[in-house]
Structure 1
């Protein structure tokens, strides 16, 4: 599949290309739901008081041609973000288009945290000899494990629990544990023929020991048995160890996105 880089946007993408991007973007919204969602034209404004993640607190443009009254709409969105105590942030996929990018450039918006969307046909997943692993049913137990391996603020527990509880497609909560010690965690969201992998992390004390790889393979086997035909994930473009792992498993880049903010925020 051809790579579509948000950093290499052409003024016009073929409709078939944008349709592929929209498919993954919609799956991502369903798999990692924001607490509040507003629409301004084809901009999806996602806000979440209980969790600061950028993908849960950002404007997501879905049509390159929707660039009317930009200053007014950005100001309106800014008031929403201010009410939530979040910095006004755009998440720029290829669906954002070149015209909006030029406008933000002209206004001095900074660009940061480029990420990749990667995919792999599950026919390529070598899971035949992988031990079956049953996902956790206890959200609280999973959240405890995830906060540990991410070395995250315990105050995020209520927000992360709310997000996981709000996932509408079937979600498998996977954790690799040694006794009571969490080693790695991930969420696999089975949505039709797609299996999205989210929040993948390994505790820093046991990295490069294969725990993440084995957990991913267990999740892919679980999803394939449920009818998923394609796995996909999002990863920061400068995360070299993760990119190496995903490439070794057979994942390939589909497109990129990045975030934009005013320097003062």
Structure 2
């Protein structure tokens, strides 16, 4: 906390510090002992009508009455990382997006609109998507990645986003991140003010790659560039069709307003069942992109869990990634998946930042009237 020369705590933040990372101390919750204080660290996302809103690293928003402040100061944009490879949020966001390539993408300034659904005819005389909701393969490949200025005022940009996804029969999602330098706490706060709903929160974790590769054992892990029916049968996701195969293989998407780039090198791992004809015991996927190896789709037969198979799969993929020149690892894990988080922590992974998917509010019904069928 900020302490003056006289030894007293001071509040040294103002509404002009919105958008900066701050550390504040406030009086305890109502009914708490008078001497009890609560400390909060995060990005100051608003200061309106005597109330501060601070977004913590995990995306939680904390409302603090200005009258309850005891001390406060601006602090560095992100804490120093003591473990794992050094990386910026922007670098990891690009790498993660390339590992889950959409079928189609379009640029809106520095925002990337991404969709992974079957082709839909659009334009004059073309009907567009059939009525009813459609679901793209994974939110990661069907959401906006906002890495800067969309080139329009925010409301106009969000209108353009909703039109673009509406033409494809999809709900509009925007993916934001919190907890690292350059993340989008302010954008998340603006989306919530406009009625967008946060549906999913997960974290991106990083680690050195070599220690993962060293965790080898005796399991028979096969690696392939492609997936077969046995691999897909173990992959617990809905809607695994041609679109899903394109995303899993990370082929370059059709683009509009941007050059298409080559995708990462993708490998699939599988561990056979104990007898011939049994379903696969475990699977995994790794996308190698420069120095980064991204792990995903690590699934184990429920009857074979706690036998180290997930570790074996990741170790085999890590060794192949090392052969291709990678040195660092990343993965994404939901905040409530305690088993996976324990496994990844044991392999040396630590959280880098959190990310969140915001869904657009439902369109209000338009009243009928002249010219409005």
Gapped regions of structure 1 (runs ≥ 5): none
Find out whether 1:136 has 2:216 as its counterpart. no
CA deviations over 1:97-150 (Å, ceiling 9, x no partner): 23322221211221121111111112433527446844124x241xx2343223
Find out whether 1:37 has 2:97 as its counterpart. no
Q: Where does 1:81-92 land on structure 2 (aligned, <5 Å)? A: 81-92=165-176
Q: Report the equivalent of 1:145.
A: 230
What is the TM-score of this pair, normalised by structure 2? 0.62
Between Structure 1 and Structure 2, the one with more helix by share is 1
Distance 1:123 1:164, change over 3 A: closer
Distance 1:44 1:96, change over 3 A: farther
Q: Where does 1:19-34 land on structure 2 (aligned, <5 Å)? A: 20-34=88-102
**In 1, Cα distance between equivalents of 2:157 and 2:183:** 14
Give 2:153's match in structure 1, choosing from 69, 74, 80: 69
In the TM superposition, residue 249 of structure 1 has moved relative to its aligned partner by: 0.9
**In 1, Cα distance between equivalents of 2:298 and 2:362:** 31
Q: Report the equivalent of 2:5.
A: none
Between structure 1 and structure 2, the one with the greater Rg is 2
CA deviations over 1:60-111 (Å, ceiling 9, x no partner): 1112x66851111111111111122211111112455233222212112211
**In 2, Cα distance between equivalents of 1:219 and 1:206:** 19
Q: Report the equivalent of 2:242.
A: 158
DSSP 3-state at the match of 2:184: helix
The question of whether the paired residues in 1 share the 8 Å contact of 2:250 and 2:266 is answered with: no
DSSP 3-state at the match of 1:221: helix
In the TM superposition, residue 208 of structure 1 has moved relative to its aligned partner by: 2.8
Using CA pairs under 8 Å that are at least 6 residues apart, name the structure with larger relative contact order, 1 or 2. 1
Runs of 4+ in 1 over 6 A off after TM superposition: 8-12, 16-19
DSSP 3-state at the match of 1:113: strand
Q: Report the equivalent of 1:103.
A: 190
Q: Report the equivalent of 2:314.
A: 216
Query: What's the Cα RMSD here?
Result: 3.0
**In 1, Cα distance between equivalents of 2:108 and 2:303:** 44
**In 1, Cα distance between equivalents of 2:290 and 2:298:** 21
Distance 1:38 1:11, change over 3 A: farther
Gapped regions of structure 2 (runs ≥ 5): 1-41, 43-55, 62-73, 119-135, 252-262, 364-373
**In 2, Cα distance between equivalents of 1:123 and 1:129:** 11
DSSP 3-state at the match of 1:182: coil
Distance 1:19 1:215, change over 3 A: closer
**In 2, Cα distance between equivalents of 1:100 and 1:8:** 14
CA deviations over 1:203-234 (Å, ceiling 9, x no partner): 33433332212111111122123221111111
Q: Report the equivalent of 1:120.
A: 207
The question of whether the paired residues in 1 share the 8 Å contact of 2:110 and 2:151 is answered with: no
In the TM superposition, residue 152 of structure 1 has moved relative to its aligned partner by: 3.4
